[in-house]
């Protein structure tokens, strides 16, 4: 039996345990620390090792599709509240000091239409956004590399958005709560035990009155009751060595299925094309595939008018909800001891900071918010009986 060094000894009982040290988990930890709540964060790998550092670094307003589509799918009031939520998310990050990051740039994002049908939706979105009091811009021509390809029709501008290096963002989020994070510690099971929860880990058991799951795409693997609400889907990206290429905005193309921006030092990052192989891009695996990577290279060549050398390829698993909205909920049959915060459907950078704060408020204070949901318990299968 391997003995534990005195210097590695760790308190095993806490008021709250957060599982997952991505954007949501670290944001929740900061909020708990601000409230003076005794807690730790358990992370199976390293901080931000999942989708939190495997994205394009967009801090943009909105969600997976344009505003007109959101009004159609969610209803106008929910769409309006969701867009405000993402604006507030960035405002809170700025208040916390994100502008001090070396990689942070105030960078307008542009929802770009390459097809007439999307151009019409963006025009409708522009009008609806203006009616609902949002600042919005409009573009029909430009001279950067993307507009010069002659594929672009129109662009809807979110003028107050930003970009950053997501790995630097994670380090910044973690810094004030770093002593509370336990890395390399996998959680195997959660078991209610009286008025507490036993958390079985690769380094022994922990115990807490409440547990907040912030593992997004990986939540159903730990708690199967979340499987009907959260679906893990893979997103893939690549980076190009493209010195001299200028992109004036962080571009969001084809209803957000593709996205591209400058990353500095002559590097362009581009992601997407998962919709071309949707049935294959499901699950927690974070390896790249030839199909998607080849499609990304082709898309980059068409939009930038030439091919550039690929210098990096990567993938990450995202959590998609059944209604395309984030989710804060107590897990059924756990007496509100286990909570879930996630399901950002590819927009955790733009949603998770504020949503994690709201999750803590609901878990501790009972304060519901836009994304609060009550999940139904999984019905118990009927007991089979045989006649005597």
Structure tokens belonging to residue 269? 């990052």
Mean pLDDT of 308-313: 98
What percent of the chain has pLDDT above 90? 90
275 DSSP assignment: G
With a cut of 60, say whether residue 1 has pLDDT above it.
Answer: no
With a cut of 90, say whether residue 378 has pLDDT above it.
Answer: no
Domain count, the chain: 1
Residue 132 lies in a domain: no
Structure tokens belonging to residue 298? 């082709």
Residue 239 lies in a domain: no
Q: Choose among 316, 350, 288: nearest CA to 51.
A: 316
Mean pLDDT of 184-199: 93
As a whole number of angstroms, the distance between CA 57 and CA 23 comes to 12
Mean pLDDT of 267-278: 96
Question: Residue 22's domain spans which residues?
Answer: 12-57+165-229+322-376
Structure tokens belonging to residue 95? 């208040």
pLDDT digits (tens, 9 = 90+) for 114-167: 999 999 999 999 999 999 999 999 999 999 999 999 899 999 999 999 999 999
Mean pLDDT of 220-249: 96
Residue 219 lies in a domain: yes
As a whole number of angstroms, the distance between CA 210 and CA 202 comes to 20
pLDDT digits (tens, 9 = 90+) for 319-360: 999 999 999 999 998 889 999 999 999 999 999 999 999 999
SS3 216: helix
With a cut of 90, say whether residue 194 has pLDDT above it.
Answer: no
Q: What is the pLDDT of residue 5?
A: 64
Residue 30 lies in a domain: yes
Structure tokens belonging to residue 242? 């493209």
Residue 82, burial from CB neighbour count under 10 angstroms (0-12, 13-18, 19+): buried
As a whole number of angstroms, the distance between CA 282 and CA 387 comes to 44
Residue 40 lies in a domain: yes
As a whole number of angstroms, the distance between CA 3 and CA 96 comes to 41
What percent of the chain has pLDDT above 70? 95
pTM of structure: 0.94
pLDDT digits (tens, 9 = 90+) for 202-227: 999 999 999 999 999 999 999 999 99
Structure tokens belonging to residue 285? 């695996």
Where does the pLDDT of residue 7 fall: very low under 50, low under 70, confident under 90, or very high at 90 and above? low
Q: What is the pLDDT of residue 290?
A: 98
Q: What is the pLDDT of residue 386?
A: 31
Torsion, Cα 328 334 335 339, to 10 degrees, reads -20
Q: What is the pLDDT of residue 229?
A: 94
Q: What is the pLDDT of residue 382?
A: 43
Q: What is the pLDDT of residue 385?
A: 33
Report the alpha-carbon angle 269-274-279, nearest 5.
160
Enumerate the H helices of 193-254 as residue ranges. 219-222
Residue 36 lies in a domain: yes
Contact 83, 126 (CB under 8 A): no
Q: What is the pLDDT of residue 104?
A: 98
Angular region, 141: left φ>0, alpha ψ -120 to 50, beta rest: beta
Q: What is the pLDDT of residue 11?
A: 82
Q: What is the pLDDT of residue 193?
A: 83
Residue 212 lies in a domain: yes
Contact 199, 17 (CB under 8 A): yes
Mean pLDDT of 239-256: 97
Q: What is the pLDDT of residue 242?
A: 98
With a cut of 80, say whether residue 383 has pLDDT above it.
Answer: no
332 DSSP assignment: T
With a cut of 60, say whether residue 387 has pLDDT above it.
Answer: no
What CATH code is carried by the domain that includes residue 197? 3.50.50.60
Residue 51 lies in a domain: yes
pLDDT digits (tens, 9 = 90+) for 44-95: 999 999 999 999 999 999 987 999 999 999 999 999 999 999 999 999 999 9
Q: What is the pLDDT of residue 183?
A: 97
Where does the pLDDT of residue 275 fall: very low under 50, low under 70, confident under 90, or very high at 90 and above? very high
């Amino acid at each position: 039996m391997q003995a534990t060094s005195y210097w590695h000894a760790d308190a095993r009982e806490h008021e709250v345990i957060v599982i997952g040290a991505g954007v949501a988990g670290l944001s929740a930890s900061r909020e708990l620390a601000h409230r003076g709540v005794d807690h730790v964060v358990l992370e199976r790998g390293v901080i931000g090792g999942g989708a939190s550092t495997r994205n394009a670094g967009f801090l943009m307003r909105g969600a997976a599709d344009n505003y007109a589509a959101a009004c159609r799918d969610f209803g106008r009031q929910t769409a309006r509240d969701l867009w405000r939520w993402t604006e507030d998310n960035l405002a809170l990050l700025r208040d916390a000091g994100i502008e001090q990051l070396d990689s942070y740039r105030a960078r307008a994002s542009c929802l770009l239409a390459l097809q007439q049908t999307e151009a019409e939706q963006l025009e409708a979105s522009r009008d609806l956004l203006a009616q609902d009091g949002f600042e919005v811009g409009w573009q029909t021509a430009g001279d950067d590399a993307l507009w010069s390809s002659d594929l672009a029709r129109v662009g809807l501008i979110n003028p107050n958005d930003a970009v950053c290096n997501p790995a630097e963002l994670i380090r910044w989020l973690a810094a004030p709560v770093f002593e509370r994070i336990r890395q390399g510690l996998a959680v195997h099971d959660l078991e209610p035990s009286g008025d507490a929860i036993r958390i079985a880990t690769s380094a022994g058991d922990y115990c807490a009155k409440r547990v907040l799951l912030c593992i997004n795409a990986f939540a159903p693997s730990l708690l199967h009751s979340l499987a009907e609400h959260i679906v893990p889907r893979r997103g893939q990206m690549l980076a190009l060595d493209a010195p001299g290429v200028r992109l004036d905005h962080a571009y969001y193309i084809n209803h957000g299925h593709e996205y591209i921006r400058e990353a500095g030092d002559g590097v362009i990052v581009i992601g997407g094309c998962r919709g071309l192989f949707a049935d294959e891009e499901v699950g927690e695996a974070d390896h790249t595939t030839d199909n998607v990577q080849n499609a990304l290279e082709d898309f980059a060549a068409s939009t930038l008018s030439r091919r550039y050398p690929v210098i990096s390829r990567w993938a990450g698993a995202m959590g998609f909800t059944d209604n395309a909205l984030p989710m804060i909920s107590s897990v059924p049959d756990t007496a509100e001891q286990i909570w879930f915060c996630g399901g950002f459907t590819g927009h955790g950078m733009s949603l998770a900071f504020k949503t994690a704060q709201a999750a803590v408020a609901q878990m501790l204070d009972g304060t519901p918010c836009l994304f609060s949901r009550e999940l139904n318990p999984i019905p118990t299968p009927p007991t089979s009986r045989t006649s005597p």
